[in-house]
Structure 1
Amino acid sequence: MPSSAPSPSGSTAVNLFSHDVLVDPYPTYALLRETEPVHWDDRLNGWVLTRHSDVHAAHLDPDTFSSQRLGAMVSDRVGPDASAEMQRFMQFAPEWMLFRDSPDHARVRKLMNREFRARDIRRRGPGIRQIVAGLVDDLLEKQEFDLVADFSYKLPGLVLAAQYGLPESDAALLTDWWYEIRNMQRVFLGADPADVAPTGSSVANAFGEMVPYLGELIKDRRRTPRDDLATRVVEYAGETPEEGEERLSEQEMFAHLLLLPLASFGTTMDLIGNGLLGLFDQRDQWELLKSDPTLVFSAVEEVLRYDASVQLTHRVATRDTEVAGTTIREGELIYMVRGAANRDPERWTDPDCIDITRGDSGHVGFGVGIHRCLGAGLAQQVTAAAYAELSARIPDLRADTSRPHRWKADTPQFRGLAELPATTGKS
């Protein structure tokens, strides 16, 4: 523990990894915000920030709080005992823009931003709504279903397969791969790489199968370019750029073909489920959405604030600095707890309630600043399509109280449901 860390006797005692906290972290967040807004956590080996003002400011200060140093730190954790798949995964991770600082980050982000422009995402809206409609058709054939397994788990994979120009028949396989590979990200919070993806595990097998799949995709798009995201990312690594145009290296290109679905799949799936549960629990807001469909994008913003799928993100201090009166030394980790910041009563009135008319999108659910989630607009479009289609076509949709929902509760970084049993509300 660094010399600037609170002494154990004076520190607020919390365990962000306990099952009860993972199931419902918000009371613990409130305790930290009120008693120790910059809290040293031994298990995370870093400082936990919970106030909106501090979390927001840290996101906007990449010169002081580095992503690139974090990427190097994570890579250094992988030793000889890790599986070959984990070691290869960690070769790609430092190439991701989320582990880059400027100017490298700006170079890659500029290229990737072209694929996620607001007008292009709006153009994809009808296609996304059609995919959602197909899944709702399947739900309507049943009285009871699991909104995770039967809906939110399937939807992002179908959308991403369409984005990449892949056959719809591959979507289920890709979804299973992405879901398993996402577990590798637990090393970012200090999990032992040898435990996360041992050789022969489902995680290791998924990565081992996906790498050659992407390799074949790259070869195909170079032979026969198409109008799809995969082709354009591959072309960004071409050998004949226009004058003054930046390029991706081959390693960067492969890394981002892996990252883009990996980063968006789980977060979109979890956002849809978390928001539906919140709207079911605060039924007046579901009824309001049904009565006024124009509120759907406002509803998405509000559930992002209320129960975001990404609960925290972290950085490394590049110099000695101070946050809310606490000294943070160069090289120390900070954890920006978005879930806590988004429920800060200093920032919002009645933060523990959903209000889809709130009209204040100052949340940090997708981050802010240069590292704001690249796919935020697409995730919002997909989630809005899901809420619009479900509320219009299954207006009495509700959680099935005879079969309780279940949280994944496996990491403080991400928050999502493993199961959300539901019914059409009709007998």
Structure 2
Amino acid sequence: MSDGVSSTAEDIRLLSTEVFLDPYPTYALLRDKAPAHWDEQLNGWILTRYDDVAEALRDHETFSSRRIGLLAARGGADPSPPMRQFIRLATGWMWMLDPPEHTRVRKLMSQGFSPRDIRNLEPLVSEIVADLVDEMVAKDEFDLIPDFSYAVPALVLVTLYGLPKSDAPLITRWCDTIKVFLGGAPDLAASGGPAAESLQHMMTYLTGVIAERRAEPRDDLITRLVHAEEDGDRLADEELCSNLLLLMVATFETSIDLLGNGLLGLLSQRDQWELLKADPTTIPGAVEEVLRYDGPVQLTHRLVTRDVEIHGQRIAKGQLAYLVRGAANRDPAKFRDPDRIDIRRTETGHVGLGAGVHYCIGAGLARLEGVTALTELSRRIPDLSLATDKPHRWRADNLQFRGLATLPATSGRS
């Protein structure tokens, strides 16, 4: 069969364009034939069944988050000084820490993301979404990725963080190169250098912003985090800067692909879009369902801290494990008819936003953006449809983060 898609688990190449374009047939094969699968390219074990993934996500003692060294070493990645600096800075990221260090940093960094804080953001998000839909209503054709799915979280980010709107493309470019390397690019070694360079540029940028907020506080999230305190504890500047970078990625990149992947799924499975329009009370459930069906974050990696046996395979202490959330969320042992969207689905427990202590810190904001977007689009462009003459295109550049590059659509009026 073609590269990346195989009838036997032994021949699978996860770092291939075919798998990036549609990983779900490969996930199904691995779940069925090799639920604990060793991958030479990724230098780690691939876990794909729901019970295994969900249990590992919650067992931070056995499946540790301190894995940046192994990730950076995959594929003979660049051992240059910039890469060593990348490893040093990334070691302090929340998602590279275990409790109690993780608990301390997360408490400080989550200030501004409480349920009350998210409710206070509703007018901002509603205004941004409404303005973008105004522009789309005036046109018969548009691309839902740059015109909407990218624009919503980009505008929310710069407003929430108090950054110039003109800086959004620059910040996004830095985040993308870091994301591609961490997510498993086809050429891991080649992607390491640009990731290290982008990290340094972004750290320099954020260091300047932090210094400005210390001198002249504003009413924005960065100011709140600069002055965040928990029992007399504060984050050091480099620690704050490094985790602020991570937080921006968590609240931005995930939202882009939640909106894009979700709209593609709902508009492709038209009965679900019609149901959503007819009954807006289903919209929160629709957001959860598209997170399960085609989530923006497909996997999480962990460092194994003790020898364990899973499905007859010995996973040794010190090895890397890839917990494939996208595969777990389509496990028929957990979810009925998992390859279909069902916005009235009653089964709960998807791991699209993670689980355990590392549950996505930006989950509340992502959900708010998703609900607001679907509410406004279904009300004001009810006949929204995919363009029949312009197919959508996936980015297909890494294994971990799944999203679209284009999604041409029409208002359905003509």
TM over 0.5: yes
CA distance in 2, matches of 1:165, 1:265: 14
Counterpart check, 1:269 vs 2:252: no
Query: Which of residues 188, 191, 206 is equivalent to 1:191?
Result: 188
Q: Deviations over 1:217-275 (max 9, x none)?
A: 11110011122210122123xxxx67x43221222111012111123322211111111
Q: Does the aligned pair in 2 maintain the 1:22–1:410 contact within 8 Å?
A: yes
Name the % identity.
53
Q: Does the aligned pair in 2 maintain the 1:38–1:48 contact within 8 Å?
A: yes
Counterpart check, 1:46 vs 2:41: no
Query: Which of residues 356, 361, 370 is equivalent to 1:374?
Result: 361
Counterpart check, 1:109 vs 2:93: no
Q: CA deviation at 1:182?
A: 3.1
Q: CA deviation at 1:82?
A: 5.9
Query: Which of residues 216, 234, 237 is equivalent to 2:208?
Result: 216
Written as runs of structure 1 = structure 2, the 5 A alignment for 1:120-135 is 120-135=117-132
Q: Structure 1 pair 20/81, CA: closer, same or farther in 2 (3 Å)? A: closer
Aligned-partner SS, 2:111: helix
Q: CA deviation at 1:13?
A: 2.5
Q: Deviations over 1:298-324 (max 9, x none)?
A: 100000000001111111110111223
Aligned-partner SS, 1:116: coil
Query: Which of residues 73, 90, 93 is equivalent to 2:90?
Result: 93
Q: Structure 1 pair 409/350, CA: closer, same or farther in 2 (3 Å)? A: same
Q: Does the aligned pair in 2 maintain the 1:83–1:204 contact within 8 Å?
A: no
Q: Does the aligned pair in 1 maintain the 2:145–2:404 contact within 8 Å?
A: yes
Specify the alignment match of 2:221 in structure 1: 229
Q: CA deviation at 1:190?
A: 8.1
**Which deviates the most, 144-153 or 161-170?**
161-170
Specify the alignment match of 1:284 in structure 2: 271
TM-score scaled to structure 1, two decimals?
0.89
Amino acid across the alignment from 2:322: Y
Query: Which of residues 13, 16, 30 is equivalent to 2:14?
Result: 16
Q: Structure 1 pair 40/73, CA: closer, same or farther in 2 (3 Å)? A: closer
Amino acid across the alignment from 1:72: G
Q: Deviations over 1:359-396 (max 9, x none)?
A: 43310001100011111111111111111111111111
Amino acid across the alignment from 2:123: P
CA distance in 2, matches of 1:339, 1:413: 9
Counterpart check, 1:33 vs 2:31: yes
Specify the alignment match of 2:232 in structure 1: 245
CA distance in 2, matches of 1:44, 1:235: 40
Aligned-partner SS, 2:323: strand
Q: Does the aligned pair in 2 maintain the 1:298–1:359 contact within 8 Å?
A: no
Query: Which of residues 294, 299, 308 is equivalent to 1:307?
Result: 294
Aligned-partner SS, 2:409: strand
**For the aligned residues, what is the CA RMSD?**
2.4
Q: Structure 1 pair 289/406, CA: closer, same or farther in 2 (3 Å)? A: same
Aligned-partner SS, 2:219: coil
Q: Deviations over 1:183-232 (max 9, x none)?
A: 3434699811xx2264xx6x677555533332221111001112221012
Q: Structure 1 pair 11/147, CA: closer, same or farther in 2 (3 Å)? A: closer
Amino acid across the alignment from 2:120: R
CA distance in 2, matches of 1:168, 1:346: 46
Amino acid across the alignment from 1:339: G
Q: Does the aligned pair in 1 maintain the 2:75–2:188 contact within 8 Å?
A: no
Specify the alignment match of 2:3 in structure 1: none
Q: Structure 1 pair 126/388, CA: closer, same or farther in 2 (3 Å)? A: same
CA distance in 2, matches of 1:351, 1:80: 36
Query: Which of residues 69, 72, 85 is equivalent to 1:72?
Result: 69
Q: Does the aligned pair in 2 maintain the 1:187–1:196 contact within 8 Å?
A: no
Q: Does the aligned pair in 2 maintain the 1:44–1:189 contact within 8 Å?
A: no
CA distance in 2, matches of 1:74, 1:21: 20
Aligned-partner SS, 1:115: coil
Structure 1 residue ranges without an equivalent (≥5): 1-9
**Which deviates the most, 358-367 or 277-286?**
358-367
Structure 2 residue ranges without an equivalent (≥5): 1-7
**Which deviates the most, 82-91 or 128-137?**
82-91
Amino acid across the alignment from 1:144: E
CA distance in 1, matches of 2:41, 2:197: 29
